[in-house]
Amino acid sequence: MKIILLGAPGAGKGTQAEVISGHLGIPTISTGNCLREAVRTGSPLGIKAKEDMDRGRLVPDEVVIGVVKDRIAMDDCKKGYILDGFPRTVAQAQALDAMGVEIDRVIDLEVADETIKRRLSGRRVCEGCGASYHLDYKAPKQEGICDLCGKALVIRKDDEPATVQDRLNVYHQQTEPVKAYYSAKGVLRQVEGQEKVEDTSALVLKALEA
Ligand code: AMP
């Protein structure tokens, strides 16, 4: 099954992608994680992407499309995959079509902007392995320390309040039109992002079957 998770930054796409991945046994492809890893290692891709990412802007379509094209060609994607954070523009959605990719379901996680702002202020990421935590919903066992690798947890630069507003603006202007694109194909399902992660997961899994 090939699945897309759409939604504003902080809507819970990464968290729900993990749940679906465990349920269906297919990998998650997060373009944000791929790009952050490239920035961490200082690769040419990372150097190209860093400034846009720090400012909360989208990385150019051709750069991200290249990342996804290479990743979905890998062996573990043969049975399907979950795209988290891609496509974020109609041009990216068209690029998937041009690659011959047939998407089975697009889950749109709906969360109000005010909730997003509150949620993102509590998000922390591991500077070592990139694992994601939240002070209210998914706290680490030891404050400020990653459960998985023991490195420090930090606030993502693009989660700082001024940048969050920019990212929400980008989402409304550039990513929301992607909903209509998939609605016209009959594969879009809208799910309210609930306060409790498990409640949202139940709705997401149901929407995958509907
Ligand atoms: P995310 O972790 O999905 O919120 O992504 C973090 C940042 O990576 C975004 O604010 C963009 O700068 C960049 N990015 C991730 N995915 C895409 C995409 N599909 N198109 C353009 N830029 C992206």
- Write the pLDDT tens digit of every residue in 147-167: 999 999 999 888 988 889 999
CA dist 169 to 9, 80, 125, 141, 182, Å?
11, 31, 23, 34, 21
Percent of the chain with pLDDT over 90: 83
Q: How far apart are CA 82 and CA 16, in angstroms?
A: 10
Ligand 1 pocket, 193 CB below 6 A?
A: no
Q: How does the average pLDDT of the chain come out, rounded?
A: 94
Q: How far apart are CA 95 and CA 62, in angstroms?
A: 9
Task: Say which residues have a Cβ less than 8 Å from residue 195's Cβ, sequence separation at least 6.
Answer: none
- Look at residue 119 and tell me whether its pLDDT is greater than 90: no
The predicted model scores a pTM of 0.89
Q: Which of 31, 50, 111 to mutate to test the pocket of ligand 1 (most atoms within 8 A of CB)?
A: 31
- Look at residue 195 and tell me whether its pLDDT is greater than 80: no
What tokens does 158 get? 């693009």
Q: How, if at all, do strands 105-110 and 81-84 pair?
A: unpaired
